[in-house]
């Protein structure tokens, strides 16, 4: 059986089990500070190169004097054009369809499947943490049902790809798109949020949330990406996903609820096991989970991680 693993705190466990939903965080507020920006510098450089190439190749019909009057060089002008374009793209993303991420892990070794991943347990310190283990197929089915329920969002399930630099990813498709739109943007100086720049927006936003720094690669992360539309596809749609905020370390963090209005008991259908993380009082923590699940009508195996870690 294929399984998915979700690590959380005692507070998180209470919310997921008690309320039958997840709090799903905006992807710009996750624990990897490079989230959403791994291709940024590489793509800006590609954009600048294509702008400079176009200007140099069309000096006879482009007002070079006007460019040189505002910038120290054509290269500086190209860098400025790239900055404007990508600022527009990311601003448009936040305005039209901000994205929220639920993170899970896929463990391949039997030891990790039984006891969890040490790096994840370390994130929960002396309080130990907990790991909810889901049947992968049933979880995916529940996600598809959730997607059908809410008409003002799109949900994508995909494995994370780990890279260290933009060069680790194939930028050629983006270069081809950029090369096709640069002439109109440079020639006409048209609205950079128009249809031409939109050709770059779609492919970029579909890839960025699934790229992560290779320093996190042992997590083998599997992501649920929820994009919430500013305007619902169907204005009469019932049960729209709402963006909410919570405080974390002095920061207001945007989040949404996933499965809040699910028509079936997705949790009872998907959950297989809960692993009590290593740490102090693991025996009492296990007994507490057992009683809590019994009260909430959830049947799942409760085990304890034997990893020798106490926070």
Residues 248-274 have pLDDT tens digits of 889 999 999 999 888 789 999 999 999
Confidence (pTM): 0.84
Contacts of 245 (CB under 8 A, 6+ apart): 252, 253, 254, 255
Grouped pLDDT means (10 residues each) for the chain, 311 residues? 95 95 90 66 89 91 88 93 85 81 94 94 80 97 89 89 74 86 70 63 79 87 90 59 91 94 89 94 94 96 90 65
Cα–Cα distance between 201 and 89 in angstroms, integer?
6
Give the CA angle between residues 54, 94, 145 to the nearest 5°: 120
Radius of gyration for the alpha carbons in the chain, expressed in angstroms and rounded? 23
Upper half-sphere CA count for residue 212 (Cβ side, 13 Å): 21
Residue 214 per-residue DSSP state: G
SS3 100: strand
Residue 205 pairs in a beta bridge with: none
| Closest listed residue to residue 156, CA positions, set 290, 24, 292 | 24
Number of Cβ within a 10 Å radius of residue 34 = 15
Number of Cβ within a 10 Å radius of residue 293 = 18
Using CB atoms within 10 Å of the CB of residue 59, give its burial: 0 to 12 exposed, 13 to 18 middle, 19+ buried.
exposed
- Contact status, residue 290 vs residue 304, Cβ threshold 8 Å: no
- Contact status, residue 7 vs residue 242, Cβ threshold 8 Å: no
Estimate to the nearest angstrom the gap between the alpha carbon of 258 and the chain centroid.
14
pLDDT the model gives residue 97: 83
pLDDT the model gives residue 251: 93
pLDDT the model gives residue 193: 47
* CA distance to 88, 150, 158, 201, 225, per residue, from 91 (Å): 5, 24, 24, 11, 18
Long-range contacts of 170-177 (CB under 8 A, 24+ apart): 171/39, 171/42, 171/43, 171/46, 173/203, 174/39, 174/43, 174/46, 174/200, 174/203, 174/204, 175/46, 175/50, 177/203
Largest CA distance in the chain: 79
Residues 125-169 have pLDDT tens digits of 567 899 999 999 999 999 999 988 887 888 999 999 888 776 666
pLDDT the model gives residue 167: 65
| Closest listed residue to residue 197, CA positions, set 181, 208, 183, 186 | 181
Estimate to the nearest angstrom the gap between the alpha carbon of 9 and the chain centroid.
20
pLDDT the model gives residue 37: 66
């Amino acid at each position: 059986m294929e399984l998915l693993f979700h690590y959380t705190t005692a507070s998180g466990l209470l919310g997921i089990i008690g309320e039958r939903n997840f709090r799903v965080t905006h992807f710009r507020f996750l624990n990897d500070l490079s989230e959403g920006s791994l291709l940024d510098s590489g793509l800006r450089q590609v954009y600048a190169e294509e702008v400079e190439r176009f200007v140099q190749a069309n000096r006879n019909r482009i007002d070079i004097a006007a460019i040189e009057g505002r910038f120290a060089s054509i290269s500086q002008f190209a860098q400025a054009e790239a900055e404007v374009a990508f600022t527009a793209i990311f601003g448009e993303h936040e305005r039209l369809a901000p994205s929220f991420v639920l993170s899970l892990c896929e463990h391949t070794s039997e030891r990790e499947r039984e006891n969890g991943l040490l790096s994840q347990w370390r994130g929960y310190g002396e309080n130990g943490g907990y790991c909810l283990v889901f049947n992968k197929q049933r979880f995916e089915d529940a996600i598809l049902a959730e997607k059908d329920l809410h008409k003002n969002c799109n949900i994508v399930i995909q494995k994370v790809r780990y890279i260290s630099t933009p060069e680790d990813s194939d930028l050629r498709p983006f270069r081809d798109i950029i090369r096709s739109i640069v002439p109109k943007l440079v020639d006409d100086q048209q609205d950079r949020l128009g249809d031409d720049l939109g050709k770059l927006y779609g492919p970029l936003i579909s890839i960025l949330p699934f790229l992560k720094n290779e320093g996190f690669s042992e997590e083998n992360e599997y992501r649920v990406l929820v994009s919430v539309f500013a305007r619902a596809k169907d204005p009469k749609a019932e049960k729209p996903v709402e963006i909410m905020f919570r405080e974390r370390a002095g920061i207001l963090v945007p989040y949404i609820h996933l499965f809040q209005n699910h028509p079936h008991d997705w949790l009872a259908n998907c959950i297989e096991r809960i692993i009590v993380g290593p740490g102090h009082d693991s025996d009492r923590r296990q007994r507490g989970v057992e009683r809590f699940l019994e009260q909430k009508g959830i049947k799942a195996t409760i085990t304890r991680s034997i990893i020798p870690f106490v926070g």
